[in-house]
Structure 1
Amino acid sequence: MKIAENDPINVSNQLLQSLLEEIIQVQAFKGKWALIRAKLSDLHSQLADFADFPASTCNPLCLDLLHSISHSLSDAVFLARKCQTPNLTEGKLRTQSDVDSVLAKLDRHVKDSDILIKSGVLQGSVVSGGSSSKREAVRAESRNLITRLQIGSNEGKNSAMDSLLVLLQEDDKNVMIAVAQGVVPVLVRLLDSSSLEMKEKTVAAISRVSMVDSSKHVLIAEGLLLLNHLLRVLESGSGFAKEKACVALQALSFSKENARAIGSRGGISSLLEICQAGTPGSQAFAAGVLRNLAVFEEIGENFIEENAVLVLVGLAASGTALAQENAIAPPVRSLEVAVDLLRHLASSQVIAEKLVSDLFIVRLVEVLNCGVLAVRIAAAMAVYELGFNTKTRKEMGECGVIIPLIEMLDGKAVEDREAAGKALSRLVLYAGNKRIFRKDERGIVSTVQLLDPLIQNLDKKYPVSILASVVHSKKCRKQIIAAGACVHLKKLVEMNIDGAKKLLDGLGRRKFWGVFARP
């Protein structure tokens, strides 16, 4: 291929040959110049590769690199001439430092050239119209940005990161394309950046990738390296960076191995600090990570050691107040996640006892009256988990959880009603709670309504269990039959619902069959 005199590739090649000629005559630091000569051999091959790409001298990224190479080679030629005499005019130490600097620059150029050649951005393919061409355009842009993130100046890398964030935010398909082009390993390496701004933007990009389910496995494959970087951000990053790190950690904390790593590296402590002092948004995401960790019993001890229960109860308390005032989305979200997390923790008897002693039950009553559906459901499930023994059932009943749960039985959402029924089925196992339930006529009527087979996606065993606990009362039997339970129960028996036949028999033996059940 014929190359014009002003072609940057030709200029670099000429300077490279000049440098090789000068190196032959050097007298000082011969060992270091031998290393430089080896770098020049690699660089010579790469310049030949650049020449094979017709579009290389039109590519801004390639042009910038070629100009940098020419500049470094020119400096090296001048320095090699200085080293051709034993008397170093600028002193041995200064000259040695200059030689080391040239070696480092050439090493960087070789690595950058290798990245650029392998990236595919020099192919110069033309994109025509159509949806497939749009995807190809995104692929080409992704390759270009990924390459720019690895070579050139810090300013150029920062600009490339801005463009990448815009690309990723457009839609999930762009995220998948960028991931397929290899963006994740590059982002992970950039987390080592000395620039806080670049590190913050990198965390934001990683968090965006973590929000696309089909791309999560690529993040998980980065293992402890990525986890350690994100945990360091939790400790010392900005509020924005911490929030984005929590988003990414939510996607990574579903596996037991990662959850164990987060727990053993101080992650729980950092997450709890965010729950105490972070923004409402970051509190919700931090609590979400903790909720994922709480699924694994072996990590439960870490929660006790870090005094997590007190922090989360406090978060639930503050979130309840905000949710009752105006139902602002972030506070409600943090409240929902905090309550749901505590519900998971309550499945451990040791932690459940800690919850009871830290006045969580009192907070539950407030949360059960919250106007936000998801929060009420999480609270009702927490009641169910906490009702593992007579003592906690008694305490919850005395604190007033029965009445709000009865009110939830009439909720519009099936999930609301089922959660309340599930909680009550466990609470009424304590005689004192059974008496509270029987006194409120709404409880039996609403529970009977849940037996209706037409109400789908609702587990009938919970209302059956509640009614079975009070069927021995003559007054309650009348109420159950008058509310139409027999008609529903006959259908449930045919459906083989647990406990339905026994409850129906319990009603029949009392000779109330003469009372016509309401359809």
Structure 2
Amino acid sequence: MKEASPESDDLLLLSTHLLTSLLSTHLPLIHHFKPKWSLIKSKLLSLQSHLADFSDSHSHSLSSNSLSLAVLSSLSSALNDAVSLAGKCSDPSSLPAGKLRTQSDIDSLSSTLDGINKDCEILLRSGVLSQDGVVSSSQQQPQGREAVRAEVRNLLTRLQIGSSESKNSAMDSLLALLNEDDKNVLIGVAQGIVPVLVRSLDTTSFEMREKIVAAIARVSTIESSKHVLIAEGLSLLNQLIRVIESGSGFAKEKACVALQALSFSKENARAIGCRGGISSLLEICHCGTPSSQAMAAGVLRKLAQFEEIKENFVEENSIPVLIALSAAGTSLARDNSIGCLSNLVCNDETLKVLVAREGGVESLKNYWDSTPIGRGLEPAVELLRNLASYHPIGEVLIFQGFPLRLLPLLNCGVLAVRIAAAGAVFELGFCSKARREMGENGCVSALVRMLDGKAIEEKEAAAKALSSLLMCTVNRKIFRKEERGIIGTVQLLDPLTKVLDKKWPIAVLTTLIHSKKCRKQMVAAGACVYLQKLVELEIVGAKKLLDCLGRGKLWGVFARP
């Protein structure tokens, strides 16, 4: 075993000797400021216990750990000051340095002992004194999970103890470790890095604060670690809002990354809105760096989902800023700004009108036409769907040629985009001209294919869109020619498919009930069996459709070709 250095032995023995001398010899003779010295005594007793724990630690670890040497050095210095002060306060005559000066010195000593006690607790709790040597990340990359755990414990301890330079170096090493591997993030979170980082945000330099925010942002990118950030509550939220108000471009970007992970709940969204967060985020969108704009718009996109804070967006005049960013930002910034506008106008006719007045339709059109078909168009299609649900704006969208833009999306390989496009077809289907135009250009056939999709959401979206398009006679003729049209729709009536709203397939089949051929196809596909069960479940429209199928012979007299 490696022998302890004379320095660590000397410091430990010196501190122990000074503590014993203070407690047994000096404190009993105190004459001045007895209440304050009584408080100091309790702190000295706590330090005495810590020193005993230091002695029990492995001597080679104690000597090799610079943090323990720094703490012991600070302790011996403070105890020397305490001996000197105790001597002055033991003289029954007047105080040599004066009463006020001595009182100030005692208060300073008390504060110093508090800090050393805290450092001892951190050092002992960290476990670094009982490690078989501490590997510095600047010297060697950790190998294996145990090595990473040991390294994280060491770095966390260095973040809380020692000089600013030491803490800064530890933060650099911790960031490198976190960025190296997702597993390192999980290990770090398990070792308790998040509470330490959050506590450090309020007491560090500007440079350190940036690095800490970057580390927190890194943690937020790992889904299974987000709950640890959420547990920090308003404390972390307030710190991040402070950063987006006054940090550098880099710090603002990283703070926005972390805020996205925290913007999932109504309570957090309200807190961000009440603390001026939306104003600061919009300011970043207006004049931040390209990457920080994208991240800020991402936070706003999440916040806009909550009805409770939409008023904050209106008060901050957010619509022009978001529309401008949708036209001139990076690809991600444009995507997030369009998504934010979509969330804002959902179920709010006033905001739909405001977006249209501020040039939102033209901006949507430009974004759509400059974005490749795929996932990037999902927020644009959602915005189209939400705007089209307000018919005066829907008419503008139809005039701008949006119905014809939907067909390629119904056939694309991205499920979410197909579903959103089908929703837009339904909303634009309020206009007979648009219904016929979409049907004649292939939307009916595309939607029939979607009826056979794997996802329930896709099947329902297709049935809902078809219920609108089949109000047009021409589209019904197109649908009847589709081999899987009626069969695919009837299968959606199956009561075992519980999460699918049955009113849409019922609506589709009802538009075809006047055709004898269609009725026969429905019956052959098992519609009566399904409908009987739906009638028992009191599903609206099921009984009427079942009755129509049951009166097939009578319908034959009035059937249309």
TM-score by length of 2: 0.78
Aligned to 1:362: 362
Q: Does 1:501 align with 2:509?
A: yes
**Partner of 2:83 in structure 1?**
77
What CA distance in whole angstroms lies between the structure 2 residues aligned with 1:469 and 1:348?
Answer: 20
Distance 1:474 1:118, change over 3 A: closer
Which residue number corresponds to residue 322 of structure 1? none
CA shift, 1:140, in A, is 1.7
What does residue 327 of structure 1 align with?
A: none
Q: CA separation in 2, counterparts of 1:469 and 1:37? A: 83
How many Å separate the matches in 2 of 1:272 and 1:29?
56
Separation in 2, partners of 1:487, 1:262: 53
Give how far 1:38 is off. 2.7
Q: Among 5, 9, 23, which residue is 2:12 paired with?
A: 9
Partner residue in 1 for 2:536: none
**8 Å Cα contact 1:138/1:174 also seen in 2:** yes
Q: Distance in 1 between matches of 2:176 and 2:214?
A: 11
CA contact 1:368–1:379 (8 Å) conserved in 2: yes
Partners of 2:65 and 2:465 lie apart in 1 by: 74
Alpha-carbon distance between aligned partners in 1 of 2:5 and 2:48, rounded to the nearest angstrom: 15
User: Following TM superposition, by how much is the alpha carbon of 1:288 offset from its aligned partner in structure 2, in angstroms?
Assistant: 1.9
8 Å contact from structure 1 (residues 418, 459) kept in 2: yes
C-alpha contact 1:271 1:287 (8 A) present in aligned 2: yes
Distance 1:68 1:506, change over 3 A: farther
Structure 1 residues 239 and 126: CA distance shift in structure 2, 3 A: closer
| 1:145-160 to 2 correspondences below 5 Å | 145-160=155-170
Q: Indicate if the aligned counterparts of 1:489 and 1:501 stay in contact, CA closer than 8 A.
A: no
Specify whether residues 42 and 466 from structure 1 end up closer, same or farther in structure 2 by C-alpha distance, changes over 3 A only.
closer
Cα distance in structure 2, aligned partners of 1:377 and 1:412 = 12
Q: Does the alignment pair 1:45 with 2:65?
A: no
Q: Partner letter of residue 496 of structure 1?
A: L
1:213-263 per-residue CA deviation (whole Å, 9 max, x = no partner) reads 222112111111111111111211221111111111111111222122112
Distance across 1 between alignment mates of 2:418 and 2:278: 34
Q: Is the 8 A contact 1:370 1:376 kept in 2?
A: no
The question of whether the paired residues in 1 share the 8 Å contact of 2:148 and 2:187 is answered with yes
Question: Shift of the alpha carbon at 1:184?
Answer: 1.6
**Cα shift readout 1:370-427 (whole Å, capped 9, x = no counterpart):** 2343332211111111122321211222233233234434545454444333212211
Cα distance between partner residues in 2 of 1:24 and 1:371: 82
Distance (whole Å) between structure 1 residues aligned to residue 206 and residue 381 of structure 2: 43
Q: Is the 1:339–1:378 contact (alpha carbons within 8 Å) kept by the matching residues of 2?
A: yes
Q: 2:181 aligns with which of 171, 178, 184?
A: 171
Instruction: Give distance in 1, aligned partners of 2:284 and 2:45.
Output: 53
Corresponding residue for residue 123 of structure 1: 130
Give the alignment's TM-score, normalised by structure 1.
Answer: 0.84
Contact 1:471 1:506 in 2 (8 A): no
Check 1:455–1:241 CA distance in 2 against 1; reply closer, same or farther (3 A cut). same
* Displacement after TM superposition at 1:461 (Å): 5.3
d(CA) in 2 for partners of 1:282 and 1:275?
8
Alignment correspondent of 2:110? 103
Give the C-alpha shift of residue 465 in structure 1: 5.6
Query: Does residue 61 of structure 2 align to residue 64 of structure 1?
Result: no
CA contact (8 A) 1:275 1:311 kept: yes
Separation (CA, whole Å) in 1 of partners of 2:217 and 2:297: 16
Between the aligned partners of 2:107 and 2:311, the Cα distance in structure 1 is 52
Instruction: Describe how 1:214-229 pairs up with structure 2 within 5 A.
Output: 214-229=224-239
Stretch of structure 1 that moved more, 16-25 or 143-152: 16-25
**For 1:489 and 1:97, how far apart are their aligned partners in 2?**
89
Cα contact 2:304–2:343 (8 A) shared by 1: yes
RMSD over aligned Cα atoms: 3.2
Matches of 1:473 and 1:100 in 2, distance apart?
87
Give matches, 1:389-468, under 5 Å.
Answer: 389-434=390-435, 437=438, 441=440, 443=441, 445-452=442-449, 456-457=454-455, 459-460=458-459, 462=461
For 1:161 and 1:126, locate their aligned partners in 2 and report how far apart those are by CA, in whole Å.
20
Q: Residue deviations 1:436-462, cap 9 Å, x none?
A: 546xx5x2x354134135655473555
What one-letter code is carried by the residue in structure 2 that aligns with 1:359? G
Structure 1 position 255 matched with structure 2 position 258: no
The match for 2:482 among 480, 486, 497 is 486
**CA distance in structure 2 between the partners assigned to 1:192 and 1:169 by the alignment:** 23
Query: Structure 1 residues 362, 508: closer, same or farther in 2, change over 3 A?
Result: farther
Secondary structure of 1:149 counterpart: helix
Cα deviation, residue 505, structure 1 = 4.9
Gaps of 5+ in 1: 320-330, 514-519
Q: Shift of the alpha carbon at 1:192?
A: 0.9
Deviation at 1:93, TM superposition (A): 4.1
Trace 1:173-252 onto structure 2 (pairs within 5 A). 173-252=183-262
Matched, 1:290 2:296: no
CA distance in structure 1 between the partners assigned to 2:196 and 2:90 by the alignment: 41
Partner of 1:335: 334
- 1:467 CA drift (Å): 5.7
How far apart, CA to CA, are the structure 2 residues paired with 1:338 and 1:46? 55
- Report the alpha carbon displacement of residue 280 of structure 1 after superposing the two structures with TM: 2.2
Equivalences for 1:261-276 in 2 at 5 Å? 261-276=271-286
Deviation sequence 1:48-76 (CA, Å, 0-9, x none): 11111123344322122111111222233
Contact 2:213 2:255 in 1 (8 A): yes
Q: Please, which runs of 5 or more residues in structure 2 have no aligned partner?
A: 135-141, 494-504, 522-561
Q: 1:61 and 1:509, CA in 2 relative to 1: closer, same or farther beyond 3 A? A: same
Q: Which amino acid aligns with 1:143?
A: R
Farther off after superposition, 133-142 or 240-249: 133-142
Partner of 2:555: none
Change (3 A) 1:386 1:507: farther
Structure 2: how far apart are the matches of 1:381 and 1:269? 25
Does the 8 A contact of 1:275 with 1:286 survive in 2?
A: yes
Shift of 1:120: 1.9
AA of the residue aligned to 2:332? R
- C-alpha contact (below 8 Å) 2:445/2:482 kept by paired residues: no
Given that 1:387 and 1:426 are in contact with CA atoms closer than 8 Å, whether structure 2 keeps it comes out as yes
Percentage identity across paired residues of the two chains = 47
Q: Structure 2 CA distance, aligned partners of 1:65 and 1:449?
A: 73
CA contact (8 A) 1:409 1:447 kept: no
User: Is 1:381 the counterpart of 2:382 in the alignment?
Assistant: yes
Q: Could you say if the C-alpha distance between residues 399 and 186 of structure 1 is closer, same or farther in structure 2, counting changes exceeding 3 Å?
A: same
- Which residue does the alignment assign to 2:309? 299
Contact 1:8-1:57 within 8 A present in 2 as well: no
What is the distance in 2 between the residues matched to 1:507 and 1:346?
41
> 1:332: Cα distance to partner?
0.9
Distance 1:31 1:384 in 2: 73
Distance of aligned partners of 1:176 and 1:366 in 2 relative to their CA distance in 1, 3 Å threshold: same
Shift of residue 30, structure 1, vs aligned partner: 4.2
